[in-house]
Chain A
Amino acid sequence: MYGARNSLFIGLFAVLIASVLGLVAGLSAGFSRGWWDSVLMRFGDIQLAFPFILLAITILGVISDRNSVHLILVIGIPTWIIYARVVRSRVMVERDKDYILGAKAIGASDMRLMGKYILPSLWTAVLVIAMLDFGFVILLEATLSFLGFGLTPPTPSWGTILAEGKRNILIAPWLAVLPGLAIMATVLAINLTADGIADVLDPKLKISIFRRLPQRELANGSLKDPEGKDARSIQPEPTDPNDNVEPPLLKVRDLSVEFPLEDKVVKAVRHVSFDVYRGRTLGIVGESGSGKSVTASSIIQLIEPPGRVTGGEILFEGQDLTRISNNDMSQLRGTKIGMIYQNPTSSLNPVLSIGSQMVETIRIHLKSSPAEARDIASRALLKVGIGNPHAILSKYPFQLSGGMNQRVMIALAMLTQPDLLIADEPSSALDVTTQAVVLERLRDITREHQTSLILITHDFALVAEFADEILVMYAGQVCESGPIRSVIDEVKHPYTKALLQSVPRAEIESGTRLQTIPGELPDPAALPPGCPFADRCVSVMDICRLVNPSQVRVGSHHNVACHLWSSNKNEEKIRWHIS
């Protein structure tokens, strides 16, 4: 009983001393960063290099009458450096964040910054280390006592009892077992507690499951899409019988994608249909959560788990991509379908030069010799407007600008002359002037090879300039689609209309007030039963809140999902009833 009290007491205070020392040292070092930081950290390094147990034994050996305080100081003080290092690195990360700058901007003093802003973010780290350290210190105390440098007998602790037991091991072997078990159980319990505390303390951990999905992918997540049938209902064939005799290269019908989460299902894409014709460009426009990126990744069957296609078909040259094998799909991805992502620098392999990445791709797909492959690579770079391809081939992605890397990505994707290229926000990470050049190159090269392009973006104007057809998405659904001029000049859906009027443009006369769309994007966890835009719509009617509108044809290839244009008999009947 007394043994436990002494051991735990020593452990507790040793940890307390170490953590306070470490916290103060780490916080001040990380915050000041100057000479103070260097002095403290070098001192810590020296101390770490020194054999710690030997030092403890030497000091304790000198003291003849050892009590708890001696042990606490000798065991506790040296471990400060562990806290200090962790705290310091956390502080360095935190102090560069915008909210610290924001606190400075409101005139918060350095003390306030450290105490009120940075300190709260350190508790978790310090507590976890403290718990682990607690276990370590108890073991250390036991070790020292076992070796005879612990508390001066007859004061007991687990370590001294253990030592006692060793001496009597031949007579009474069970004597050493109990203190041993006690030490083991305590350390184990402490470590488990440490893990638990770490989980509880972080307020953001609770939503971590939710956050793991990239924000833009998160869309519609209602448990009850009340009338799945209603949303889908009649899908008018977008094809007009008179023109376009050629069948579409890509035909997406009634596509639905869901992300089952712990306690709900996020319906990211709901009954989406569209066609992409050979050599044409389809622009998909939407805000975050509209499902535009998920639609793209479902075409190439690369939806982030746990997402999955739950309905519909994706016909590429007549083949349903949702049903083919993984092998066939990766074959298609490399050759017939290309993909360009938003962030070119991270999409390229950072440890391989541009040349070796391109040569590898060429050799795999075209089965050419290394020399030939290099030649093809430099010609491909010339085509996307890179004037000195040989210099670029020997460079690594991090040595090039974002615009240059994106051009390399386009060259890479076009190497196999794919039939379909999907570009997901290809220019959003680029500057305006670079964006224009890159997109023009992309347009030229896809035209030259008769490649179909799906251009996914949040920028309506970009689609207006570079696409032939447009698909406007909101909350996982298509709200309007059609030829680009027709949609812009005869815009039908209130959302499309509002979107066009609410974005400030360089060409609009100054002095006019911007239209706004009231409210915010719908909560993916609580989607309304009717039209997802109903709550923000200026022309909202009663029926909009009850029934999700189906697609209606309003012009040549021009479709809209809105009750204002609905000719569906069923919906009309309901409307009649309400009014």
Chain B
Amino acid sequence: MAHLLEVRDLKKHFASHSGFFAGSEKNTVRAVDGVSFTVDQGETLGLVGESGSGKSTLVRTLLYLDLPTSGEVYFDGQLLTKKETVWLRRRAQIVFQDPYTSLPPRMRVWEIIAEPLLIHHLADRHSVSERVSQLLEDVGLQTMIADKYPHQLSGGMRQRVGIAKALSVQPALVVADESVSALDASVQSQILNLFKDLQERHNLTYIFVSHDLGVVKYMSHRIAVMYLGEIVELATTEELYAHPLSPYTRALLSAVPSIHRDGRERIRLEGDPPDPANPPSGCKFHPRCAIAHKLCSQEAPQLKEWLPGRYVACHFALDSNHTARGGEVSGV
């Protein structure tokens, strides 16, 4: 079966401007640096990483909201180009993080939700209001809020409006870019369950971006872990949490505070994530890695399938679990 979305070696580099003499290679920030993955119809791919890992840039680039520096994106088997993006806007939508800035402040709720319908001629003046009420009900809002402005609504309600707007074109793919991180704990769970219900109801495909490992675990079928613009590990949710193969994933998981920490040792990651404009040589994680060898500082590991369905970018992906095999790989 063809994948709904296929991303091949996608790169997004930003030149940081330093006055008139900009353009030297040195100041290029490789926000997304050669990312490949696929997403199937009906599944949720979680995208997790710390700030600066490039997860937000990645989803904006693959939706062609930012043009990629290089690489290809296939949606429904069709290669995306910068010329034709209008059809993509009907098939793929995005819900942003901050419900306070992501809705146009001077439009009423019904206008916001009707916009996509009018732009894509999916409804005429008469049927629009009916469709808008239907969408409001779909996301659990009362239709009487249609006349309000965003600033008159609570954070949770605004995020529901954002979701209704995204759903109005009946997309196949919805990207949630940190869509619940600005919400309070008691409201966050409502929105997460809403996302799940809508997925079932409309057979939606999600890319769920978050820095919160709990949220990503709850939502995703498969998870990609990003570090400094690259995917370092990709696996099904169960396997990733039960047996993380990349040393970075292990450190990340052990850092999450837990209500019942029963003497579990935490892996302390010393140092901060490096400057993305000036990343370390070889594997970008090697200066902080507990199992780094000489090879790691010289050669960047490629993301490859070490076990069926388990992609890891680490020279020693399997050794860290089976130390006996250590010499075999480091002898490369």
A502 at interface (Cβ–Cβ under 8 A)? yes
Q: Is the CB of B90 within 8 A of A436?
A: no
Q: Mark B175-206, 1 if CB is under 8 A from A, else 0.
A: 00000000011111110110010000000000
Cα(A402)–Cα(B212), bound, Å: 18
Bitwise interface map of B from 60 to 99 toward A, beta carbon under 8 Å scored 1, else 0: 1001010000000000000000000110011001101110
Summed over the interface, the residue pairs from A and B with CB atoms below 8 Å come to a total of 194
| Docked pose: A500 CA to B260 CA in angstroms | 12
Residue of A109, A116, A458, A500 most packed against chain B (CB within 10 A): A116
A465 and B258 contact, CB distance less than 8 A = yes
Decide if A155 is an interface residue (CB 8 Å cutoff): no
For B111, the closest partner residue in chain A by CB is A116
Residues of A contacting B162 in the complex (Cβ-Cβ under 8 angstroms) = 102
B residues within 8 A CB of A121? 105-106
Whether B26 is near chain A, meaning CB under 8 Å from some CB there, is no
- Judge whether A520 and B217 touch: CB under 8 Å: no
A49: shortest Cβ distance to chain B, in Å?
Answer: 21
Contact between B257 and A436, CB atoms less than 8 A apart: yes
Say whether A106 contacts B89, CB under 8 Å.
yes
Would you call A464 an interface residue if the criterion is a C-beta within 8 Å of the partner chain's C-beta atoms?
yes
Residues of A close to B270: CB separation below 8 A: 385, 387, 437
Give every chain A residue within 8 A of B51 (Cβ-Cβ).
431
Q: Mark B3-15, 1 if CB is under 8 A from A, else 0.
A: 0000000000000
Closest chain A residue to B93, Cβ basis: A105
Whether a CB of chain B sits under 8 angstroms from the CB of A526 is no
Q: Does A504 contact B (CB under 8 A)?
A: yes
Are B273 and A431 in contact (CB-based, < 8 A)?
A: yes
The answer to whether A46 has its CB under 8 Å from any CB of chain B is: no
Expressed in whole angstroms, the Cα–Cα distance for A462 and B189 within the complex equals: 18
Q: Mark A455-469, 1 if CB is under 8 A from B, else 0.
A: 000111110111000
The reply to whether B269 and A433 contact each other, CB–CB distance below 8 Å, is: yes
A107 sits at the interface (CB 8 A): yes
B106 contacts A432, CB within 8 Å?
Answer: no
Which residues on the B side are within 8 Å of A103 (C-beta)?
104, 115
- Using known A-B contacts A105-B94, A203-B106, A436-B255, determine if residue A503 contacts B185 with beta carbons closer than 8 Å: yes
A68 within 8 A of B: no
Q: Is the CB of A107 within 8 A of B90?
A: yes
CA distance A460 to B237 in the complex (A): 23
Q: Which residue of B186, B219, B253 is within 8 Å of A499 (Cβ)?
A: B186
Q: State whether the Cβ of A507 lies closer than 8 Å to any Cβ in chain B.
A: yes
Complexed CA–CA distance, A112 and B90 (Å): 17
In the bound assembly, the distance between CA atoms of A496 and B217 in angstroms comes to 22
Stretch at the interface among A239-247, A310-318, A511-519, A555-563: A511-519
Per the bound structure, the CA–CA distance linking A431 and B49 in Å amounts to: 9
- Taking CB atoms, residues of chain B closer than 8 Å to A116 are 115
For B65, the chain A residues whose CB sits under 8 A away are 101, 104-105
A residues in contact with B257, CB < 8 Å:
435-436, 439, 459, 461-462, 464-466
The residues of B with any CB-CB pair to A shorter than 8 Å are: 50-51, 60, 63, 65, 85-86, 89-90, 93-94, 96-98, 101-106, 115-116, 119-120, 149, 151, 154, 156-157, 162, 165-166, 168-169, 184-190, 192-193, 196, 211-215, 217-219, 237-238, 241, 251-261, 266, 268-270, 272-273
Other than A107-B116, A510-B238, give 20 A-B pairs with Cβ distance below 8 A. Answer: A99-B104, A101-B60, A102-B102, A103-B104, A105-B93, A105-B94, A106-B89, A106-B93, A109-B119, A203-B105, A432-B255, A433-B255, A434-B269, A435-B255, A437-B269, A504-B212, A504-B214, A504-B219, A506-B256, A521-B184
The 16 listed contacts between A and B (C-beta, < 8 Å) are A99-B105, A101-B60, A102-B162, A106-B89, A106-B116, A404-B272, A431-B50, A436-B269, A464-B259, A465-B261, A504-B212, A504-B214, A510-B217, A513-B193, A514-B193, A518-B190
Binding site for B on A (CB under 8 A): 97-99, 101-109, 112, 116-117, 120-121, 203-204, 207, 287-288, 385, 387, 401, 403-404, 431-437, 439-440, 458-462, 464-466, 488, 498-500, 502-508, 510, 513-518, 520-521, 536
* Closest A-B pairs by Cβ, 5 of them: A107-B89, A504-B218, A98-B102, A431-B50, A502-B189
